[in-house]
């Protein structure tokens, strides 16, 4: 027996297939819905708060820039350089500090870390020294190690100020170590007419009125 052939329906045109699209196409976002986790928030401000806490690496979140700023502050201790590394203006970290207490604490720790690095570098230059090249006839012929006694002096003075800091005080005393004696200033009433006349002549010669 001959097999019956199934009737094929009309073929869909390419335009109709394009309109329907693939089944895996992403659905449109609802109002105030997070594009990453699809969570729907009550308001735009709630959505912004959710993205800052749940997705801190988003392009609209300042947290990554804060991290770049703090990292550079640990290395340099310079606000201008750290702001440039984070891609923000110099005033922006101060604006962050007005509303973010954790950022203020992290900033203080970064400053301490930068100070420790500076102290360690000063210690190295004072104790280990640095190599400086020696040139003769325009050619480098060797190196010499130089130490910084001044840096060591600053370090030890900062560590033990009660022992190494110069405490200088000036005291003014009178005769025999007693108090300074003061005398009242003479007034016009205390001067004789001749003394007053002499003072007028002196004032006229010097141009003092």
Where do the domains of the chain lie?
32-61
Tens digits of residue pLDDT in 151-173:
777 777 777 777 777 666 666 67
Tens digits of residue pLDDT in 116-137:
888 888 888 888 888 888 888 8
SS3 category, 50: helix
Q: How far is CA 34 from the centre of its chain?
A: 34
pLDDT over 90 percentage in the chain: 11
Tens digits of residue pLDDT in 43-86:
887 777 666 655 554 444 557 888 889 989 998 889 999 999 99
């Amino acid at each position: 027996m001959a097999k019956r052939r199934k009737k094929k329906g009309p073929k869909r045109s390419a335009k109709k297939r394009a309109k329907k699209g693939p089944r895996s196409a992403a659905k449109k976002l609802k109002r105030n819905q997070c594009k990453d986790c699809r969570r729907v928030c009550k308001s735009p401000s709630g959505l912004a708060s959710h993205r800052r806490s749940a997705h801190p690496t988003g392009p609209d979140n300042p947290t990554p820039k804060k991290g770049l700023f703090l990292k550079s502050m640990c290395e340099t201790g310079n606000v201008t350089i750290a702001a440039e590394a984070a891609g923000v203006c110099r005033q922006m970290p101060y604006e962050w500090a007005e509303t973010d207490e954790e950022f203020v604490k992290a900033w203080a720790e970064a400053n301490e870390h930068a100070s420790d690095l500076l102290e360690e570098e000063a210690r190295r230059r004072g104790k280990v020294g640095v190599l400086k090249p020696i040139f003769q006839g325009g050619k480098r012929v060797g190196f010499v190690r130089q130490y910084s006694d001044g840096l060591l002096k600053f370090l030890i003075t900062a560590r033990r100020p009660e022992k190494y800091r110069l405490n200088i005080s000036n005291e003014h005393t009178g005769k025999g170590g007693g108090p300074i004696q003061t005398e009242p200033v003479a007034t016009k009433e205390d001067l004789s007419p001749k003394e007053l006349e002499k003072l007028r002549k002196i004032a006229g010669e010097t141009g003092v009125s």
